[in-house]
A = this chain, B = another copy of it.
Amino acid sequence: MFRPDDCVGEFVHEGSGLTLGLPHMGFRQAVAAGAKTLVLGVASAGGVLTDELIADAEAALNAGLDIASGLHGRLRDIPKLADLAKSNGCKLIDVRDPVMDLKVGTGVRRAGRRLLTVGTDCSVGKMVATLCIERAMQARGHVADFRATGQTGIMIAGAGVPVDAVIADFISGAIEQLAPERTDDGWDLIEGQGSLFHPSFAGVSMGLLHGAQPSAIVICHEPTRQHMRGLPHYSMPSLERTIAANLEQARLTSPDVVAVGVAVNTSMLEQDEARALCEEIAETTGLPCVDPYAQGADPIIDRIEQCFAISRPSMSLSA
C-alpha cells in the first residue's frame, strides 16, 4: 500500500478476501519475478506463529526466499525453519527483535517537534494515518519522518522499534531513542499503538505517549467498531473522552501538547456517510476530521501549520 515499488507480488490463501492489489503468485514464480523475501503480513492475537504460517514459511524457504516476520513467536525458534534456512542459505528475519541497546526513559524535555497518533482502540488506522500525514507534509515541502513502532510499520520504514515487544521497563525509553532530540525544524511522526482504554495494552500506549513527548496528537478512530478489539465485554470510549485522556496523560512529559486532528478509517462506510460523519466529528470536537487515506490529510496539516505558526515551504511553487 505504501511501498508498492518494493514488492513484486502477493501470496494469498484461497478464500482470503484480503489483497494489496499486487499480482498473485506462488513462491517459485515470485523468485523468478525477482522476489528475495517473503513478508508474513499477518498479526495474530498474542503474535503466535500458527502451523499454517510455518507451512507457508517452509514452502517459501524451499523456493529460496528469505522470511521476515513481525510476530512475537520467533522464526528462529522453530527448529524445522531454522534447519531449512541454514541448508538453503536463506535468512530468517524476526522484525520484533528490538535492535537497540535500550535505556530507561528520563522524560527530559528534548528539542524538536513530534506528532503521535493515538486511538480509541487498537487497529483503527494509526499506522496508515501516520504514513498519510508524512506523505501530505512532505508534499508541502515540510521535513517529516515516519517513526515506526510496530512490526508492519518497521517493515515499511525499514527501521523502528517494536514497542510492544520491548521489556516493560523500557517502553518510554525506547521511544525516546526512536525519536531523539531534533534541531532541523523537521517533524518526527510517531506511529501510535493500542489505546489508553484497551485493558490488554493500555500500559504500552501510556509508555509510548510519555516517551513520545508529543507536540501534537492526532486521534484515530474506526466508527463501525462495536467493542474494544477482541473484547466483546468492553465498549468503545467516545472520541471526546479519548482526546481528553490522551492530552491529560501526554501533559506529564509535554505540557503544551495540542490535538490537531481526528483521522477516521471510513473503509466500512459509503462515501456520503463518511463525509457526513467527518463533518459531524469536526463540529463536536472542534478539530479537522478526515479519512486521511481516502480523502488526504490536508486539513490536519493546515491545523498543524496554524498551531505551530509554520509556513508552507512549497507554497510559492504550488500557488
Contacts and interface: CB of A to CB of B under 8 A. Distances in A.
Contact of A167 (B164, B196, B206): B164
Contact of A199 (B45, B106, B164): B106
A252 B203 CA distance: 13
A200 B206 CA distance: 10
A196 B202 CA distance: 12
B203 A203 contact: yes
A12 interface: no
Interface residues of A, number: 40
Contacts of A253: 199
Number of this chain's copies in the assembly equals 2
Given A166-B168, A203-B203, 6 more contacts: A172-B199, A172-B200, A202-B206, A202-B207, A202-B210, A206-B206
Contacts of A207: 168, 201-204, 206
A173 interface: yes
A197 interface: yes
Interface in A48-82: 72
Nearest to A210: B199
Interface of A: 45-47, 72, 103-109, 163-169, 171-173, 196-197, 199-208, 210, 231, 233-234, 249, 252-253
Nearest to A203: B207
9 contacts: A47-B169, A105-B199, A107-B233, A107-B234, A168-B204, A172-B202, A203-B203, A203-B204, A203-B206
